Amino acid sequence: MIAEATLPKSQPPAVVKKKRWRNLRAFVRNPRAIAGMSILGIFVFIAVFAPWIARYNPQATEFLPSQGPSAAHWFGTTNTGQDLFSQFVWGTQTTLLVGFGGGTIQLILGLTIGMYGGYKGGVIDAILNVLSNIFLVLPALALLIVIESYIRNTTPLINGLIIGLTGWAWGARVFRAQTMSLVGRDFVVAAKLSGQSDWRIMFTEILPNMYSIAASSFMYSCLGAILAEAGLAYLGLENLNSNSWGTILYWAFNGDAMLTGAWYWFVPPGLAIALVGMSFALMNFAMDQITNPRLNVAKRRGSQRDRA
């Protein structure tokens, strides 16, 4: 496994801590990370200050319908005369909330299940591992659709909750592998001998050694949650009066945006999702570069060959 090769080989805690700070400093100076953080920052800003940025009530049908972008309506209006920019702004808030919420639930579940299985080993590990593998192979969106077909008209927050509860498997698998490689290390053994409880060891000794993996897993979880929510809302499984990027797509599709050539209706939400995803990937890429020495070694080799 690549990840295992990158681990510091049982260094004293002080060195590990120092290294972590160095990594963090390298991260905030990495151009890719800066680009990623800026893009995400803009969306977070929009989400937080939505009430002040959105100029109109996103549901109010008080404007001329099917207008293209203009000074008054930056993203145009829907076929029922709603202001699309206001919908987009409020949608940003909902979508990011679902994304981060779903991602957080996935992270917590993944960490708990993955670390516990990897740490305990034996029968518990075998059962948890089969469980996560099952959740990993079952088609997630189909499962979500089936669950939501029984619930109906869910709010975005319930959607986030369900997405979180069903999507933890990938994280669990990664954390399990990482924990298993750490469990035999000296510092873990020492902590065990000193009589610390299992959970304490997991969260204070093992977890700090996989911050970068946890962060990358969290970012993918968030993106996955955003995409899942957009898909579910698009299929009409979310309360249609809610404001999210997915519901804008739903109304665009069902309001014949395509046949009227209203590109301004469906382009912004999809583009925004792709940009958020790109910002996560940029940060991830930067983190990989900093924490995986191998990518750099190979780079040096490659450049030598180019010069020769």
Partner 1 sequence: MRYFFNRLGFLLISLWAAVTLNFVLPRLMPGNPAEIMFAKFQGRMLPQELHALELQFGFSNQPWPIQYFQYLGNMITGHFGLSFTYYPVPVATVIATSLPWTIGAVGFATLLSVIVGSFGGILIAWRRGGMLDRTLPIATMFFQAIPYNWSAFMLLFVFGFTLNWFPMYHSYGTNQTPGFNWPFLSSVLRHGVLPVATIFISGVSGWIIGMRNNMINTLGEDYVVFAEAKGVSARRLMFSYAARNALLPQVTGLAIALSSIVGGSILMEQVFSYPGIGFQLNTAVSNEDYPLIQGMFLIIALCVLIANFIVDMVYARLDPRVRTGGASS
**Least Cβ distance, residue 133 to partner 1 (angstroms):** 7
**Least Cβ distance, residue 230 to partner 1 (angstroms):** 5
Report residue 206 as tokens. 């093992």
What does the chain come to in residues? Answer: 308
126 burial (CB, 10 Å; 0-12 / 13-18 / 19+) is: exposed
- By rule CB under 8 A, what string of x and - marks binding of each residue 226-265 to partner 1? -xx-xx--xxxx-----------x--xx----xx-x-x--
- What are the residues whose beta carbons fall under 8 Å from the beta carbon of 241, sequence distance 6 or more? 59
161 near partner 1, rule: CB under 8 A: no
- What are the residues whose beta carbons fall under 8 Å from the beta carbon of 137, sequence distance 6 or more? none
Report residue 6 as tokens. 């990158």
- State the DSSP code for 55: -
306 near partner 1, rule: CB under 8 A: yes
276 near partner 1, rule: CB under 8 A: yes
Radius of gyration, alpha carbons of the chain? 23
Identified binder of partner 1 from the candidate list 280, 287, 290, 291, rule CB under 8 A: 280
223 near partner 1, rule: CB under 8 A: yes
**Least Cβ distance, residue 276 to partner 1 (angstroms):** 7
Residues 112 and 190: their CA atoms lie apart, in Å, by 22
Residue 96: strand, helix, or coil: helix
Nearer to partner 1 by Cβ, of 63 and 220: the residue is 220
Helix spans in 121-210 (H): 122-137, 140-151, 156-166, 169-182, 186-193, 198-200
User: Residue for token digits 């050539």?
Assistant: 261
Identified binder of partner 1 from the candidate list 150, 193, 195, 197, rule CB under 8 A: 150
Nearer to partner 1 by Cβ, of 178 and 191: the residue is 178
Residues within window 115-134 making contact with partner 1, judged by CB under 8 A: 130, 133-134
203 near partner 1, rule: CB under 8 A: no
Residues near partner 1 (CB under 8 A) are: 1-2, 130, 133-134, 136-143, 145-147, 149-152, 170, 223, 227-228, 230-231, 234-237, 249, 252-253, 258-259, 261, 263, 266-267, 269-270, 273-278, 280-282, 285, 294-295, 297-299, 301-303, 306
